[in-house]
Structure 1
Amino acid sequence: MYYLELALAILAELIGTNLMKLSNGFTQLWFSLGTLLSYGFCFFFLSLSLKGIKLNVAYATWGGAGIVLAALVSFFLFHEQTSGLQVFGIALIVVGGHHCQPCWRPLSSPKCTAAQRLGCLSAFSFRSR
């Protein structure tokens, strides 16, 4: 159930972000109201998901999925150009979030060392698993 709530938060954030673009700097009333409403739902569902998902897992998933989905929507819906360097940067974000996975164990877990937890602070940490 918590991951469903996280998925709803991601979807609401994606809708809100795209409505924000359509609001033209909050000058279009209905798109602006839709943006605010979508972000309200986004944070509501994100807060519900945090009852059962650790903050670092939920936030990395929410942020990473939001970035990837927003990039896809901007490319296909708004026909915005995407460079190879931008795709590489997005890939680093995804790899960085996935690379943090060993640190998603409870902090008291003997398998997760302090060095591993510290390494998770950087999306560019390329240590071996």
Structure 2
Amino acid sequence: MKWILLFIGIIAELCGSTCMKMSEGFTKLYPSIFTFVFWAIGLTVFIFALKKFELSFAYAIWAGLGIVGVSIIGMVFFKEPHNILKIISILIIVVGVILLNISDILLNK
């Protein structure tokens, strides 16, 4: 259940960030409203997830997957430029998140 909460929080944060881009500097009403709604959901769910995770672990996963998700959304939906260095950097973040998970498993044995 704790992982579900964490991933719901991350997805909500990604939706909020996407809506923020779509709001064009908060000049469009509905994307602006949805930005705050999704962020509120994301932070609320993250608070509940923190009851089950260590802060340093949960926040690293939250931030790492958030960066990866926003980067992919930017490249795919907003046609943001990308190159091999950007792709490699995203992969390094993914590897870091995987290593964090492995270290958490090893520490909690």
TM-score normalised by length of structure 2: 0.86
Aligned residue in 2 for 1:10: 10
Aligned residue in 1 for 2:21: 21
Q: If each structure's helix is expressed as a fraction of its own residues, which one has the higher value?
A: 2
In structure 1, C-alpha distance between the alignment counterparts of 2:2 and 2:98, rounded to whole Å: 19
Give percent identity, aligned residues only. 33
Gaps of 5+ in 2: none
Larger Rg: 1
> How many equivalent pairs are there?
107
- What is the alpha-carbon root mean square deviation over aligned residues? 1.7
Instruction: Name the aligned partner's letter for residue 75 of structure 2.
Output: F
Gaps of 5+ in 1: 110-129
Instruction: Name the aligned partner's letter for residue 54 of structure 1.
Output: E
Aligned residue in 1 for 2:32: 32
Aligned residue in 2 for 1:56: 56
Instruction: Name the aligned partner's letter for residue 99 of structure 2.
Output: H
In structure 2, C-alpha distance between the alignment counterparts of 1:31 and 1:80, rounded to whole Å: 19
Q: Which moved more, 1:15-24 or 1:63-72?
A: 63-72
TM-score normalised by length of structure 1: 0.74
SS at 1:100 equivalent: helix
Aligned residue in 1 for 2:71: 71
Instruction: Name the aligned partner's letter for residue 16 of structure 1.
Output: G
In structure 2, C-alpha distance between the alignment counterparts of 1:77 and 1:101, rounded to whole Å: 29
**Which structure ranks higher in relative contact order (CA pairs < 8 Å, sequence separation ≥ 6)?**
2
